[in-house]
Structure 1
């Protein structure tokens, strides 16, 4: 018995060493050397029509967050917060007469205009494949030396992200496990348990969004940003490698949890998905209404702003319930 335990310990130790030493490298796309959208290539006219044909309701769930001054942001990393200001007001137009049409016209026709300034990774947004790389390369081997100019990336910028229509599945981990502890790392077993309770199955090419429950604190930035739970490397590998998931999303700030689970990489889930596998994901989603109505399968419809060269872009995803299979 002791010998058996000893041999088992050696095997486990060797597996841990192998995992610790596994080389993380930017992946090469199976869709060709010019590919810029990774697994979104799994969409087709046929797949989009298939999911749209399964819609059973006219009710639409808005999975996006509202933008407002004071909203949660990555200010801890030095990135700018959301700013909003008025450029024209009804009374100010009367006083300033910027259009040169005089007080009578400007008193009759009121004019309001405004502007915003923001980090592209604020609110509900999608991470483009150039957002994180490994050893100087991003997805498909593109490099900053060759593909990054003064006006952004010339490859995999947010403008390349197509409109997305596919079968969506929400995995409600919060409903399955209850309130998640601070910095909790969601495992593949957590996902399996939730799917079993929901009686939902995954299919290749799905979009999977994960509810941690963090969205309920979104109006209170300090709480939303504080020690939030997220997904583990084990869980995303199970989704991508075992189930062929096309796109991922979650309701927390940064998808994965911190502190990082690898000592040699501060964002191992980001680099695994974006740089190694070409899988984009959406952060800071609102999944509360889906959870309230127990909607787990839906037509996912979304498009992001075509921000040329950008590493991310605001997105407004919608969910429309479909017939369960």
Structure 2
């Protein structure tokens, strides 16, 4: 059962950082705080929070987006036969040349949603309008290239662990009380500029697409609004959309996306692997991540890293 409001009533927000701002909540990132976080990091262990990309991997295709594909464009023997570089068979037999091409939806695998990914009534965050800022190929505002390297504190919200389960039930809506319970359990508070890492337990099933995609447990709208009120820089989750699905609001099919991106200016990181952090009890960490700078794109692949804090700090 849920007490979620029937309507989300989400509106695009004007940035408090000015009419040209394209960073949104990433403005909460602070170089001095980043230095402090890195000074606390214990570099003897680095957790890679990303997943592999491979042909046949689970991905969002429900709206017609393509599956991940990789094609070799050059092979060692093919180069000998084709001689496309014009250097002849002897040299090409000596130099073993391979190359490939990737074709994918930008919201495949571990990735970050840029602020132009979702909007409301023809506008994205900071009132950038479709008829003024969307060209034939891409947005001219709010794209993935605007996202700077993220170096800050990551805080693990192990909701599955709080509930004593391996994985939350399908379509479980994470509440404010759940999030606050996670913080109480680990004895910390969210601070401005943190990245909230939400664990539902679904990544334990990766790459079984029948268990990691569809009807995701995730953050309910009230909990999403509570998170952004804490001035987080970004939010991340171990499932495909951060928020609970299907939508609990009748006026919006992805209200969490619209709130995080268009209303709060908070980038969303999806399909992040938090299993090792939870297993090892790493509840706070130095969080480091940077997307590929795809100009104008609504999302980009991301390789997040987590470095535990030194036990004496």
Bin of the TM-score, shorter chain as denominator length = over 0.9
How far off its partner does 1:216 sit? 1.7
Contact 2:28-2:231 at 8 Å conserved across structures: no
Aligned: 1:232 with 2:228: no
The secondary structure found in structure 1 opposite 2:198 is strand
Aligned: 1:114 with 2:100: yes
TM, length-normalised to structure 1: 0.90
1:207 corresponds, among 183, 195, 199, to 195
Aligned: 1:309 with 2:309: no
How far off its partner does 1:125 sit? 0.7
Aligned partners of 1:231, 1:323: CA distance in 2, in Å?
30
Contact 1:130-1:139 at 8 Å conserved across structures: yes
Aligned partners of 2:234, 2:256: CA distance in 1, in Å?
14
Equivalenced residue count is 308
Aligned: 1:185 with 2:177: no
Query: Which string of whole-angstrom CA distances, capped at 9 and with x for unpartnered residues, describes residues 261-298 of structure 1?
Result: 11111111111111111111100101111112111111
Query: Which string of whole-angstrom CA distances, capped at 9 and with x for unpartnered residues, describes residues 30-82 of structure 1?
Result: 00000001010111221211211111333111111110111121211111110
- Structure 1 residues 21 and 226: CA distance shift in structure 2, 3 A: closer
Gaps of 5+ in 1: 1-14
Aligned partners of 1:174, 1:296: CA distance in 2, in Å?
13
How far off its partner does 1:107 sit? 1.5
Contact 2:148-2:290 at 8 Å conserved across structures: yes
User: Counterpart in 2 of 1:158?
Assistant: 144
**What does 1:263-302 align with in structure 2 at a 5 Å threshold?**
263-302=250-289
Give the stretch that moved more between structures: 30-39 or 167-176.
167-176
Larger Rg: 1
Query: Which string of whole-angstrom CA distances, capped at 9 and with x for unpartnered residues, describes residues 90-125 of structure 1?
Result: 111122222222222111111111111000011111
How far off its partner does 1:200 sit? 3.2
Contact 2:30-2:193 at 8 Å conserved across structures: no
User: Counterpart in 1 of 2:86?
Assistant: 100
How far off its partner does 1:222 sit? 2.4
Aligned partners of 1:118, 1:20: CA distance in 2, in Å?
35
User: Counterpart in 2 of 1:27?
Assistant: 13
Give the stretch that moved more between structures: 55-64 or 196-205.
196-205
How far off its partner does 1:20 sit? 5.0
Contact 1:133-1:139 at 8 Å conserved across structures: yes
Gaps of 5+ in 2: none
Which structure 1 residue ranges, 4+ long, deviate > 6 Å from structure 2?
Answer: none
Aligned: 1:67 with 2:71: no
The secondary structure found in structure 2 opposite 1:131 is coil
How far off its partner does 1:130 sit? 0.7
Aligned partners of 2:116, 2:8: CA distance in 1, in Å?
22
How far off its partner does 1:199 sit? 2.8
Contact 1:70-1:221 at 8 Å conserved across structures: no
User: Counterpart in 2 of 1:86?
Assistant: 72
- Structure 1 residues 220 and 40: CA distance shift in structure 2, 3 A: same
User: Counterpart in 1 of 2:247?
Assistant: 260
